[in-house]
Amino acid sequence: MHPLLRIFFTGMLVSFLGSLPLGTLNIAAMQIAISDGISSALLFSCGSLLVEVVYVRLSLVAMDWVRKQEKLFRILEWVTLAIVLALAISSFYAAAHPKVEKNVILSSTLPRFVLGVVMSAVNPVQIPFWFGWSTVLFTKKVLLPRQDHYNTYIGGIGLGTLAGNCVFIFGGLLIASKINNNQHVLNWVIGGIFSITALIQLWKIWKKKDAAHDLEHPEEVHERIKTKVDKIK
């Protein structure tokens, strides 16, 4: 396989699989699809993946600078926690009040693309994730410090993230079509997912296993991801 194709598909596969675990952004995309339609959800996803590829670029060329922003990442971790809690409360409110069908935060007047940008920008967990994977790919000589490699890698990542979000967008619509008039049930479920996400986020901050810690100890991230790669082999 041509090296650039290998880089593209590697970035796409890692990004796609990384988008599948339940998280703030993919669940938000699913809820937007159910309440506001596919186009709004896709715009939200495009906004979030734009920030993700920018973060990946930073992790490739300016990691020394990024590592020094520990205080900023600590603040962003708490901001992310506040947003997830607000999303959970909004979902529970919609579930408890049948006349309120939409999450008031995700269905605000803010353009969906901008909403995706903002929610992704304050979620720095993706930076150590991609720093770890990129380091492993550099070590394996799959990725080289060249512009064409970087651009191809980022292109694959963007497509993989979009594909992963589409699983939630169209999966959510399928679930919504099955429950028909039981929209409140889905709101309870989504509210529960956001609550669990918030608890996990709080636990990571308390145990110092958050993004700021990962950036301060990149060797731990590298070792975790290297272990995953070895298991796949």
Strands (E) in 39-116, as ranges, are none
By the 8 A CB rule, do 48 and 25 touch? yes
Give the global pTM.
Answer: 0.78
pLDDT confidence tier of residue 219, bands split at 50, 70 and 90: low
Q: Phi/psi of residue 168, each to 5°? A: -75, -40
How far apart, in whole angstroms, are the C-alpha atoms of residue 77 and residue 108?
23
Encoded tokens for 138: 């550099």
Four-residue CA torsion sign, 29, 30, 36, 42: positive
pLDDT confidence tier of residue 230, bands split at 50, 70 and 90: low
Q: Is it the case that residue 158 has pLDDT exceeding 90?
A: yes
> How are the residues of the chain apportioned to helix, strand and coil, as percentages rounded to the nearest 5?
80, 0, 20
Encoded tokens for 48: 């979030």
pLDDT of residue 226: 54
How far apart, in whole angstroms, are the C-alpha atoms of residue 204 and residue 201?
5
pLDDT of residue 97: 74
pLDDT confidence tier of residue 77, bands split at 50, 70 and 90: confident
Name the region of 102 (left: φ>0; alpha: ψ -120 to 50; beta: rest). beta
Say which range, 96-100, 149-153, 222-226, has the weakest mean pLDDT.
222-226
Q: What is the mean pLDDT of residues 186-197?
A: 84
Q: Does 199 or 126 have the greater pLDDT score?
A: 199
pLDDT confidence tier of residue 170, bands split at 50, 70 and 90: very high
pLDDT confidence tier of residue 208, bands split at 50, 70 and 90: low
Q: Got the DSSP string for 173-232?
A: HHHHHHHTT-HHHHHHHHHHHHHHHHHHHHHHHHTT-SHHHHHH-HHHHHHHHHHHHHHH
pLDDT of residue 205: 74
Q: Which amino acid is at 212?
A: A
Burial class for 85, CB neighbours closer than 10 Å (0-12, 13-18, 19+): middle
pLDDT confidence tier of residue 232, bands split at 50, 70 and 90: very low
- Among 216, 207, 183, 17, CA closest to 91: 183
Q: How many other CB atoms are there within 10 angstroms of residue 170's CB atom?
A: 14
Q: Is it the case that residue 53 has pLDDT exceeding 60?
A: yes
Q: Is it the case that residue 233 has pLDDT exceeding 50?
A: no
How far apart, in whole angstroms, are the C-alpha atoms of residue 198 and residue 211?
15
If you search the block for the tokens 């609550």, which residue do you land on?
A: 195
pLDDT of residue 227: 61
Q: Is it the case that residue 217 has pLDDT exceeding 70?
A: no
| ∠ Cα 149 20 13 (to 5°) | 25
120-144 pLDDT, tens digit per residue, is 888 777 777 787 788 778 878 888 8
78-107 pLDDT, tens digit per residue, is 887 888 888 888 888 877 776 655 666 777
Q: Phi/psi of residue 208, each to 5°? A: 55, 45
